[in-house]
Amino acid sequence: MLSMLDHTISNMSTYDIDIYQGQTFNLSLTLKDDQGLPISLTGQAVSGLLKTRYSDTGSLMSLGASIVSAPNGTISLNISAIDTAKLPVNYSVYDIEMIHTGNGTVTKVLAGKASIYPEVTY
């Protein structure tokens, strides 16, 4: 299980993730600006999806993105063990977007590859 990761973003950063079928996936991220200061998420929302390919019209699953601490720029991604068990074993892609709730401006803050590995223990 992944826990805390401080990830600095400028326009958009990349970070690859590993997801194991049947295991709870939790990842905490602190979004920072070019000076290393946390990006305030006050007045923002976050969203993230997992897809097999960027060109797919549908997604495999939501990444359960939520804001943990708006002033500190901390978000978390959460997928239950029941839901990871449903994912196909493959190499996928994902991204996380920040949505300004006042004006609807969307900024992609993180994207990358997601490796989904099979469960061995049932």
Inside any domain, residue 79: yes
Please list the pLDDT of the chain residue by residue as tens digits (122 residues).
333 445 455 456 888 999 999 999 999 988 887 788 888 899 999 999 999 999 999 999 999 999 999 999 999 999 999 999 999 999 999 999 999 988 989 988 889 999 999 987 76
In a domain, 47, yes or no: yes
CATH number, position 8: 2.60.40.3350
50 found inside a domain: yes
SS3 50: strand
Considering its fold, how many domains does the chain have in total? 1
Q: Does 122 map to a domain? A: no
* pTM for this model (two decimals): 0.84
Q: Is residue 75 part of a domain?
A: yes
In a domain, 73, yes or no: yes
**Domain enclosing residue 84, as ranges:** 4-117
Rounded distance between C-alpha atoms, residue 76 and residue 121, angstroms: 26
* Torsion over CA: 66, 30, 17, 120 (sign): negative
